[in-house]
Copies of this chain bind each other. A is one copy, B any other.
Amino acid sequence: VLHTAAALFAARGYRDTSVKDVADEVGMTKGAVYHHFPTKEALAIAVVEAHYAHWPVLLEEVRAEGFSAIDTAMKMLDRAADVFGSDPVVQAGARLQLERSLIGAPLPTPYTGWTDLLTQLLTEARIVGDLHEDVTPEQAAQTLVATFFGVQHISDTLHARADIAVRWREARALLFRSIRA
């Protein structure tokens, strides 16, 4: 139901996905869709929220593996890159965030969740001496997020995300060489 909308939003964007398109794809009528979501915006918001719901789960998984803080950060981003390459809901959420200006309603503030998480992990890394001395956790976190977003977006634009995992590993190798002690 909401999955279909995510797929369409991911493929065509918010404005070019009409409610009728969603309804047709699900095999319902517009009226039926409007029974579940009061508004097209509500649909988009639901998708974006589903997107953000992925990360806490992922964090638990990675934490369960017992890496050091800095490796947890790295693994998180690697796994996230994989998810961006495969999960339509995550892809749709990312795209809708890009198009947030087209959506009337307020969406969760993007990027800050990741930045905060990484800042925290890198602060822990600093304490155990895993962080390069010239680096502040917050700046490093912001740069990681920017690069991650950039890699993901360019991979999407140029190669339909086919090469995202590879590209991200290349980029993060460069970054972590400067970040790690």
Contacts and interface: CB of A to CB of B under 8 A. Distances in A.
Q: In the complex, which range does the number of interface residues on chain A fall in?
A: 35 or more
A113 interface: no
A128 interface: no
B13 A102 contact: yes
B143 A146 contact: no
A149 B154 contact: yes
Contact of A174 (B135, B151, B158): B135
A140 interface: yes
16 contacts: A13-B102, A15-B102, A99-B99, A134-B177, A139-B170, A139-B174, A145-B150, A146-B150, A146-B151, A146-B167, A147-B147, A147-B150, A147-B171, A149-B153, A174-B175, A174-B178
